[in-house]
Structure 1
Amino acid sequence: EERLRVFLQAWRDKQPKLVAWAEENIPEGFAVFDLPEAYRRKLRTSNACETLNSRIKRRTRVVGLFPSEESLERLVTAVLVEISEAWESGKSYLKPEN
C-alpha cells in the first residue's frame, strides 16, 4: 500500500487518468493478501475456473442446440449445483480455519 501511495504521488500530475484508474482498481487486487498464504498459493492459478468451464462445456456439448436460453440456464445451473455439492462433500480445496 505504501508503494501504491508513492506511485500515485509521483504520477498524479503527469497521468491523472492513470492515477484515477489505479486508485479505484489496484486496491481490489490487494484483497488477495487478506487471505491466508496457503489459500493464495492455490488461488494463483485459474485451474479451478478452467475445470469448471470444461465440465460445463462437456455437458452442454451433448445437447448441441438448446431450444431456448432458459433451457441452457437450467442445465448449467444443474451442473453447477452438482459440482458444488461434490466439492462440499468431498475433499476440501480450501479448508476453513477454526
Structure 2
Amino acid sequence: MHYLTFDLSEDDAGTLTIEALASTPAAQHAAVMAEVRRILEWARARFPDTHGPLDEGMDWDDDLQVQVEDGGWHSVALTLAASARFAEAFREAFPGALGEAD
C-alpha cells in the first residue's frame, strides 16, 4: 500500500474497526481506488460468506466514502468493521498496514 494509511481501533463492545484513509490530488485517485479494490477483493475472497453486520455473526462489513474537496483533492475513507479473526487475517495479508513492522 502506497497511498492508504491505516488505523485499528476497538470500541467498548470489542468491535474492531480498521480505517483506511487517503487524500490525494485527482491524478492519484485511480491508484488510491486500486488499493481500495485490492483490500475489498481480498476480503471477499478470504471471507466470502461472512460479509455483513458483526452483530449478526458476520466477520466483516465495510463503508466506503469518497469526496472531492476544494482544489480537486480526493478524500477516500474505507472503514471495515472486523471480527478478531478478520483483523488477524488482514494483518497477515497486509503486513505493516496496521503499524507492525514489515
TM-score (norm 2): 0.29
When Rg is computed on C-alpha atoms for both structures, the one with the higher figure is 1
How high is the TM-score relative to the length of structure 1? 0.30
- Which has more helix, going by share of residues? 1
Kindly indicate whether structure 1 or structure 2 has the higher relative contact order, using CA contacts under 8 Å at least 6 residues apart. Answer: 2
